Amino acid sequence: MFVARTWTLLAVENAWDARYNRPMKAIPHRRSREVEAWLKREITEQKARYRKIVRQQDALSPQRDKWIADFLHRIQTRGFHVHFNQMRKIPPEEIPVRPKRKFKVVF
């Protein structure tokens, strides 16, 4: 809950109005020192949580590559269900080429 709220606050401050290609005019709100301190702590905690998640996802990379290879092998040999009990095997030319960039997990 705090994650979305804090990032929303940050997003509103840096909002861009695409219609007029300029920053959005927002009402300048004044925050107390306590609120500013809370926001700073919250943002720091969220960034730490995010870095931890990224580290965990990067550590899963070899396992994820194996899962993807198994899946691609399975849909080429066994196939997948198109409808009820109808199976379709995917020919190798329909398998997408793996990009050279690092695999990115969106969370």
Burial of 43 (0-12, 13-18, 19+ CB in 10 A): middle
AA identity, residue 52: K
Task: Tell me if residue 105 falls in helix, strand or coil.
Answer: coil
In angstroms, the CA 95 to CA 91 distance is 7
- Residue-level pLDDT at 29: 80
AA identity, residue 30: R
Lowest mean pLDDT: which of 12-16, 31-35, 49-53, 73-77? 12-16
Structure tokens at 28: 């300048």
In angstroms, the CA 69 to CA 58 distance is 17
- Return mean pLDDT, the chain: 84
Residue 1 pLDDT > 80: no
Rounded to an integer, the average pLDDT of 64-85 is 93
- Residue-level pLDDT at 90: 94
Q: What is the pLDDT of residues 10-41, one digit of tens each?
A: 455 567 777 777 777 777 788 899 999 999 99
Instruction: Report if pTM > 0.75.
Output: no
Q: Measuring CA to CA, how many Å separate 5 from each of 10, 24, 36? A: 9, 19, 14
